[in-house]
Amino acid sequence: MALNYTIPGLSEEVSEKVISILQSRLSQEQEASLVLKHAHWNVSGPNFIAVHEMIDPQVDIVLNQADESAERISQLGGSPDGRPDAIVRNRDWAELELTGTQSTEAYIKALVAYYDEFIQNDRNAIAELDELDIVSSNIIQDHVQDLEKFQWFLRAHLA
């Protein structure tokens, strides 16, 4: 990958590695917004309105996370790839398996499982980024805090 420039304190090699990690996070953040919107449109049954309305703010949060990740890639001299094929190309996580109208409970369980892997992937990224670029690590740490809070909301519905 050819960088447009580097930032003070990071070599080109380190910047490229950080960009690669952030691109993976960007792709999963973009996918998560689509997954959440899919669930928002297709939940049905008991607690429909509560779950339907709970999901929309999370879509906005995850889209903001994607924007932060993309902007950090640009700050590092890279070019964020937000195209749909980049999501598919970068996917190394499980897809949400539910399709069509399903019960609120089925979608909540599927989203909890999706978030398990999403959060773990972010935590893995943090561990790598801590050694490379603390600024990028801090960005993903903030993202995890939001994701864990939302997963808690989902789990509370199942309790």
Full residue range of the structural domain in which residue 27 is found: 16-157
- For residue 122, is it within any domain? yes
Give me the helix-helix angle, 134-158 and 104-132, nearest 10°: 160
- For residue 6, is it within any domain? no
pLDDT tens for 18-61 read 999 999 999 999 999 999 999 999 999 989 999 999 999 999 99
- For residue 46, is it within any domain? yes
- For residue 9, is it within any domain? no
pLDDT classification of 116: cutoffs 50, 70, 90: very high
Q: Give the domain CATH number at 33.
A: 1.20.1260.10
Measured distance CA(147)–CA(159) in Å, rounded? 19
- For residue 1, is it within any domain? no
pLDDT tens for 79-88 read 999 999 999 9
- For residue 11, is it within any domain? no
Number of compact structural domains in the chain: 1
Single-letter amino acid, residue 17: K
Measured distance CA(48)–CA(30) in Å, rounded? 24
**125: which 2 tokens?**
């990224």
- For residue 115, is it within any domain? yes
Beta strand ranges found along 37-153 (DSSP E): 43-44, 102-103
- For residue 10, is it within any domain? no
Q: pTM, whole model, 2 decimals?
A: 0.96
